[in-house]
Structure formats: C-alpha cells, structure tokens
C-alpha cells in the first residue's frame, strides 16, 4: 500500500508541478493555455568559441546535464522563461537537459541549422542534406513540451546583395512546417531570426509573412513568427532615439508574432537594460512579444550575463543584476487566447528591385532524396560519380554550366526570375549526373567524358 501511494504521488508531481504546456500561436501572439506569453529569453550557447569546424558543442547534450541543471536555476532566478539555443547535435540525447529546463518552466527556441548545414548566403541552397539534418533536429526535439519554436535560419541575409538567399529560408520554413504537420502530434511554430538591416528589413519581414497563394500558388510557407536581432538601444537611450519607435511602427500590422531574437547592446557597460521597460511596456506590447537577451556566458565578445572563474564557479555579472531588476519591474498587459481576435491581413509580397533580388512568384523546390535517386537511375546517357581530382563538384558544375547552360536547366536556379530546376535540391554528384546526361544527349557520347567524370549508361 505504501509504495503504491508513493507511486501515485510521484506521478502526480510529474504531471502537475513539472509538466509544461506547449506554447501556441494565435494571430500575432504567443499563448500558454489561455494566457498570453512574452519571451523573457536568454541566448544559451556556452563555449561556442571553442567549436571546431564540423563539430558542434551541444549545450543540451547529456554530457552537459549538470550545467543545464545549474544554469536552469540561475536563469529562473534571473526571471527568464525561455532560452535560445543556436546549434545542437541531433544524434545525442537531450532528455536530461530538456527536463532540467522544464523543471524551471523554461521554454527552448532552437535553431535547426548548425554552422555546417546552415543556408550559406554567398551560395544559398536548400538541399536534400540540409532537409535531412533539419528534420533530424525536429525529430530529436519535437517530443519535448518545452520546445517552443524552431528557427529555420539566423541572419542568412545580411546585405541587399545577398537578399536572394531569403528564398531558401522561406523554402526551409515551408518544408519544416509540413514535416511537423505530417510527423508531429502537436504544432510547433517555425520562424526566422533576421539581422537588423536598414533599407531591407521590412522587405525581409514582408517576404517571409506575405500571402503567396496568388503569385506562387503556395500556401503555408509563411513564417509562423519572426525574430529580429536588434542592438539599437545602447546605454540610457529611449524609445524614440533608439529606433525602437520606428521599428515598431514599421511592423505594426504584422500578422504573426514578432520578438527580439537577440538584444542587449554592450557599447555602454555595464549594461543597464533600460530597454526592457520599453519592450514590455504599452508602446510595444501590441506588436512585440518580448525578446531574448544576448547571451548567457561570457565569451570574448563581452555579452555574458554570467562569468566562470578558473575553478568553475559561476559569477553573476552586473549585467545579470541589472537585467534581473528590469525584468522584475515589468507588467506587460496580456490578452486571453479565448477572447483575442486576430486582425489584419498578411502583407503584400515585396517586388523585385535593385536592393531586392528575389521574386515571390515561386520558391525553391522541396528537397526529396527519393525523387533525386530515382531520377538518376532513369538517366539514359551519362552519369557522374564525383568531380575530377583536385576540383570541387561545384567548380566542375560551374564550368559545365558556363559552357552549356541548357544542359543545366534542371539543376539551375534564378531567385530573381523565380525559376528553380526540378533537381536543384539534389546532391552535388546527382546534379552533375543530370547536367552531364543532358550535355551528352546534346553533344553525343564522347561528351560524357567531359572533365573525366562521366560514365556512359549502357543501354
């Protein structure tokens, strides 16, 4: 009898005190149950500077469970209700860390990319490898109720000259959303964390939220939320001179939740965090849902809320103490989900312009490894196994496509015109096969030996 009673008790404690209700989105606000939710977040990626190429130091991995337990308490004491994590290793186990944060009622906003799989603004792609990596992260984290949302990209566009890379972000959002819809038994919003770029920030926001049903015949590819990494308020600024007023007015009709996915300028130190009163005050709460302070640990760039001594003791910085005071003082107004009526219509898609080299008439194709490998098997002229020694596949492809652009039509993309070849999301070797096959078809069997990479398909 005794042990039975104990069992019931621990079960109740688990589902009661430590269960977290998933975050939900309605209109442009976040909710937990019926109550509106404002992010009081902290960026959490300790040790990022120690990362080596191809290796992610995953702060939520089992090996860091003691740090997670310790840090979740420190963050809860700070008044935080969420963290943002920039890169994880989906092969590892995250149960303990996610539970440690759940124990302190802390939600996790997670970037789906890592430095190796992120959309590269200088040569943007959304391909079968990126898709497989993103969806693996979704699989690893969808099971936790405190997984609050996914970022499909972070500051991918940082200049008008690479504005076209936003097309791949919208495709990544679309495909992550449909993957969640098909494979996860609850909804988890997918959004983007944008850089604060004068001239095009509103275009980025509108491009990601615009209704492309008419232009691209594309539904459900809109971002579910938008984050801005914003460092406009330094020291004792104010709502108007900081730029916050302009940012708020620019987006006052936005239809999905907006928040600061990073904030906390450190040009004046210690940081006073006087912007907190503005961000969670009545000038801004209609438009913004709070924000995420950059960042938890002290790294060489000097944004740490905590520091560690050489013996591993945590030291709270003045920044921590100031932020704690500011967060304790806010009382943002909330609405009830049940009585909240979303208003407004999605923004118009921005038109192509000299500083906006991307149309909304079409988006990059959905990567599908099965489609790619089946199509390679059906090629009838020539296939490739790799690039010539000492040359990358993308170099070989550039040469071939420069020489015969028609041969590359099924793998080429032009975001400004909205043309995306049906095999443009396949792997590099597969793309080389499609191009060489077409090239051989045009120029005869000898052409298959181009660059020494092709093998004739025996009929």
Ligand X SMILES: *[C@@H]1O[C@H](CO)[C@@H](O)[C@H](O)[C@H]1NC(C)=O
Which residues would be at the binding site for ligand X (CB under 6 A)?
Answer: 15, 18-22, 32-33, 46-47, 54-57, 59, 64-65, 67, 69, 89, 91-92, 96, 99-100, 103, 116-117, 129, 132-133, 136, 145, 211, 213-214, 217, 238-240, 245, 250, 252-253, 277-278, 281, 283, 298, 307-310, 312, 317, 345-346, 366, 368, 370-371
Per the CB < 8 A criterion, the answer to whether 54 and 39 are in contact is: no
Q: Which of 174, 90, 99, 189 is nearest to 139 (CA)?
A: 90
Which residues are CB-neighbours of 449 under 8 A, at least 6 positions away? none
Nearer residue to ligand X within complex by CB, 219 or 398:
219
CB of 445 to ligand X, least distance (A): 30
Give dist(CA 44, CA 35) in Å, integer: 25
Closest CA to 223 of 249, 258, 268: 258
Cβ at position 337, least distance to ligand X in Å: 11
Answer whether 432's CB lies under 8 Å from 393's CB. Answer: yes
* E strand segments, 13-158: 23-26, 29-32, 35-37, 39-43, 82-85, 107-111, 147-154
Q: Is the peptide bond before 270 cis (omega within 30 degrees of 0)?
A: yes
Cβ 259 to ligand X shortest distance, Å: 17
Query: Alpha helix (H) ranges present in 79-190?
Result: 95-103, 128-141, 166-183
Nearer to ligand X, 19 or 328 (CB): 19
Which residue number, 239 or 340, has a Cβ lying nearer to ligand X? 239
> Minimum Å distance from CB 85 to ligand X?
12
Active site residue 295: no
Tell me if residue 185 falls in helix, strand or coil.
Answer: coil
Name the minimum Å distance from CB 459 to ligand X: 25
Smallest gap from Cβ 92 to ligand X, in A, equals: 6
Select which of 262, 275, 295, 357 is catalytic.
262
**Distance, CA of 191 to CA of 205 (rounded, Å):** 11
CA distances in angstroms from 119 to 164, 222, 412, listed in the order given: 11, 18, 17
Instruction: Give the nearer residue to ligand X in terms of CB position, either 116 or 443.
Output: 116
Between CA 367 and CA 363 the distance in angstroms is: 12
Assign residue 323 a region: left if phi > 0, alpha if psi is -120 to 50, beta otherwise? alpha
As beta bridge partners, residue 225 has: 191
Based on CB atoms, which residue is closest to ligand X, 2 or 17? 17
We find the least distance from the C-beta atom of residue 26 to ligand X, in angstroms, to be 13
Query: Residue 290's closest CA among 281, 301, 302, 299?
Result: 281
In the bound complex, what is the minimum distance in angstroms from residue 101's beta carbon to ligand X?
9
Of 15 and 354, the one with the shorter C-beta distance to ligand X is: 15
Q: In the block, which residue shows the tokens 């969670």?
A: 280
Q: How far apart are CA 340 and CA 334, in angstroms?
A: 10
In the structure encoding, which two tokens stand for residue 432, read together?
């080389």
Which is the catalytic residue, given 49, 51, 62, 155? 155
Is residue 232 part of the annotated active site? The answer reads no
Catalytic machinery residues: 155, 262
């Amino acid at each position: 009898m005794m042990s039975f009673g104990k069992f019931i008790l621990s079960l109740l404690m688990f589902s009661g005190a430590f269960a977290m209700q998933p975050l939900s989105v309605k209109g442009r606000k976040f909710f937990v149950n019926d109550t509106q939710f404002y992010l009081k977040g902290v960026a959490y990626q300790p040790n990022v500077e120690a990362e080596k190429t191809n290796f992610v130091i995953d702060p939520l991995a089992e090996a860091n469970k003691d740090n997670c337990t310790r840090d979740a308490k420190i963050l809860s004491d700070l008044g935080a209700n969420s963290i943002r994590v920039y890169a994880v290793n989906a092969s590892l186990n995250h149960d303990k860390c996610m539970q440690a944060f759940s124990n302190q009622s802390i939600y996790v906003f997670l970037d789906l990319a890592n430095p190796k799989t992120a959309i590269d603004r200088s040569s943007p792609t959304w391909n079968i490898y990126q898709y497989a990596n993103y969806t693996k992260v979704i699989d690893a984290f969808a099971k936790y109720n405190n997984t609050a949302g996914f970022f499909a990209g972070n500051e991918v566009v940082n200049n008008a000259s690479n504005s076209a890379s936003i097309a791949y972000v919208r495709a990544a959002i679309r495909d992550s959303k449909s993957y969640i819809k098909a494979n996860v038994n609850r909804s988890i919003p997918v959004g983007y964390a944008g850089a604060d770029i004068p001239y095009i920030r509103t275009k980025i926001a509108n491009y990601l939220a615009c209704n492309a049903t008419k232009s691209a015949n594309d539904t459900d590819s809109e971002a579910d939320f938008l984050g801005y990494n914003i460092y406009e308020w330094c020291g004792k600024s104010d709502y108007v001179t900081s730029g916050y007023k302009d940012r708020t007015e620019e987006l006052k009709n936005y239809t999905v939740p907006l928040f600061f996915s990073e904030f906390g300028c450190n040009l004046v130190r210690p940081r006073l965090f006087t912007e907190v009163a503005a961000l969670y005050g009545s000038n801004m709460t209609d438009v913004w849902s709070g924000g995420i302070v950059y960042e938890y640990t002290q790294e060489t760039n000097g944004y740490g809320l905590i520091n560690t001594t050489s013996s591993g003791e945590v030291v709270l910085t003045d920044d921590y103490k100031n932020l704690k005071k500011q967060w304790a003082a806010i009382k943002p107004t909330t609405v009830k989900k049940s009585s909240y009526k979303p208003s407004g219509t999605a923004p118009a898609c921005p038109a192509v312009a000299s500083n906006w080299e991307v149309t909304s008439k079409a988006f990059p194709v959905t990567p599908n490894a099965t489609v790619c490998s089946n199509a390679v098997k059906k090629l009838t002229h020539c296939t490739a196994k790799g690039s010539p020694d000492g040359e990358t596949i993308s170099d070989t492809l550039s040469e071939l496509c420069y020489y015969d652009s028609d041969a590359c039509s099924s793998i080429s993309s032009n975001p400004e015109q909205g043309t995306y070849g049906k095999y443009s999301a396949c792997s590099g070797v597969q793309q080389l096969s499609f191009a060489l096959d077409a090239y051989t078809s045009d120029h005869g069997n000898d052409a298959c030996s181009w660059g020494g990479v092709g093998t004739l398909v025996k009929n």
